[in-house]
């Protein structure tokens, strides 16, 4: 079946449909990872976005029940050069095409993803529509222009959990039996819990929770709007601010809660959590031209001068110069565009990074940061 991708600037791509039939709109971004398409699709940070994979062949190792970052896909739609008809891997339990169809995700293949990526790099991320039911190009371009995109939009409220829960294999996220079986998260229960962490769920990834558990933490996950006083009443050793989708400035309730938590407990933020922390400290954020999406972003630790290759997924960044002088110090920068990748409070046990040290997918160069968080919690006892 024919599928059409229309961008807000009037560009049209004709391709073939795979996955679900229908029509989806969102901000079109590109991801440079070579593998990990299942983790990418299920990352809640992609809510509101249509993901383009720059690697030409996607789906060749199929779908399994382990490589998921949430209970189902969050990306609005999926763009690939070629969807593999053959799925070959010892863990594979199905094909990408059927997986997308099951969850209502519209896919398009057979377009020039190199051309699309170049256009996004030149013009910046563009709003777009993928449709298998509307073949009127002018109509689709208008729909692309009219779709809300992600700037100024709070999508955290869509992906956050509904009530608090303790992360473990038997009751995690209060899922159904089928969803718990799908998660198959490994033996986190065998790790002895030394610290209690309250994690704000702005769209938290399973790999983050796995890393916190592996570092010896009992993790209580709370909704994005959970009151700060109730968090402190749990008497945690530390507070974690998770990744998530869209515009941090739109998540005003989270910023207010973080302000109340600063100075009370050690805090570690990742991605959106890093941006929200910057806003809570009095700074500003801004939208990047086409964002950082992929597993090959070079980040330098300014203290050690070591460079880590990192996994990233974000469209906004912190303007560290907007934070009142003397509150934070810059700890990490992106070597591609010199944007802020990490900061640390000058007096309090608070730090954050823009990238994803848990990877999933991607390199594990920065996984040591979870141990750094436990050191802060240990020192705070």
CA distance 239 to 141: 44
Which residue in 274, 292, 314, 356 is the catalytic one?
356
Which residue in 39, 69, 76, 358 is the catalytic one?
358
CA distances from 21 to 83, 105, 133, 220 (A): 15, 8, 8, 38
- 226-232: which pairs have CB atoms within 8 A and are 24 or more residues apart? 226/164, 226/200, 226/257, 227/257, 228/256, 228/257, 228/258, 228/260, 228/261, 229/260, 231/198, 231/257, 231/261, 232/261, 232/264, 232/265
**β partners of residue 300:** 307, 333
Asked if 358 is an active-site residue, the reply is yes
Rg, the chain, Cα only: 20
CA distance 49 to 90: 31
Q: DSSP 3-state assignment of 302?
A: coil
Which tokens in the block code for residue 35?
A: 């593998």
Cis omega before residue 361 (within 30°)?
A: yes
Decide if 273 contacts 239 (C-beta within 8 A).
no
Asked if 21 is an active-site residue, the reply is no
Please, is 17 exposed, middle or buried when counting C-beta atoms within 10 Å of its C-beta (0-12, 13-18, 19+)?
buried
User: Torsion angle, CA of 157/160/163/165, rounded to 10 degrees?
Assistant: -170
Asked if 271 is an active-site residue, the reply is yes
Which residue in 76, 211, 271, 292 is the catalytic one?
271
Which residues does 344 contact at the CB level (< 8 Å), separation at least 6?
Answer: 328, 329, 331, 350, 351, 352
**Catalytic residue positions, numbered:** 271, 356, 358
């Amino acid at each position: 079946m024919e599928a059409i991708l229309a961008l807000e600037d009037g560009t049209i791509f004709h391709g073939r449909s795979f996955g679900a039939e229908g029509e989806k709109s969102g901000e079109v971004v590109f991801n440079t990872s070579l593998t990990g398409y299942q983790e990418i699709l299920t990352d809640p940070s992609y809510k509101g976005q249509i993901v383009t994979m720059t690697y030409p062949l996607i789906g060749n190792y199929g779908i399994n029940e382990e490589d998921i970052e949430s209970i189902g896909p969050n990306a609005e739609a999926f763009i690939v050069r070629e969807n593999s008809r053959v799925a070959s891997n010892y863990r594979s339990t199905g094909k990408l095409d059927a997986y997308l169809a099951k969850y209502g995700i519209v896919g398009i293949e057979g377009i020039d993803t190199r051309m699309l990526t170049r256009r996004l790099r030149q013009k910046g991320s563009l709003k777009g529509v993928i449709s298998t039911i509307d073949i009127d190009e002018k109509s689709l371009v208008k729909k692309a222009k009219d779709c809300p995109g992600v700037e100024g939009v709070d999508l955290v409220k869509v992906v956050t959990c509904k009530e608090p829960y303790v992360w473990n294999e038997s009751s995690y996220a209060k899922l159904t039996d089928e969803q718990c079986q799908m998660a198959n998260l490994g033996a986190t229960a065998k790790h002895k819990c030394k610290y209690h962490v309250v994690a704000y769920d702005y769209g938290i990834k399973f790999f983050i929770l796995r890393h916190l558990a592996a570092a010896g933490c009992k993790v209580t996950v709370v909704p994005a709007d959970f009151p700060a006083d109730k968090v402190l009443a749990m008497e945690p050793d530390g507070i974690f601010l998770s990744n998530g989708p869209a515009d941090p400035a739109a998540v005003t309730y989270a910023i207010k809660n973080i302000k109340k938590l600063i100075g009370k407990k050690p805090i570690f933020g990742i991605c959106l959590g890093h941006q929200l922390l910057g806003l809570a400290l009095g700074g500003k954020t801004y939208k990047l031209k086409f964002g950082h999406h992929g597993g090959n972003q070079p980040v330098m630790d300014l203290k050690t001068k070591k460079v880590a290759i990192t996994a990233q997924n974000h469209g906004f960044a912190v303007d560290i110069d907007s934070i009142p002088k003397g509150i934070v110090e810059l700890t990490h920068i992106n070597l591609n565009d010199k944007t802020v990748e990490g900061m640390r409070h000058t007096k309090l046990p608070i730090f954050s990074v823009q990238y994803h040290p848990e990877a999933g997918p991607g390199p594990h160069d920065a996984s040591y940061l979870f141990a750094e968080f436990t050191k802060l919690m240990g020192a705070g006892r």
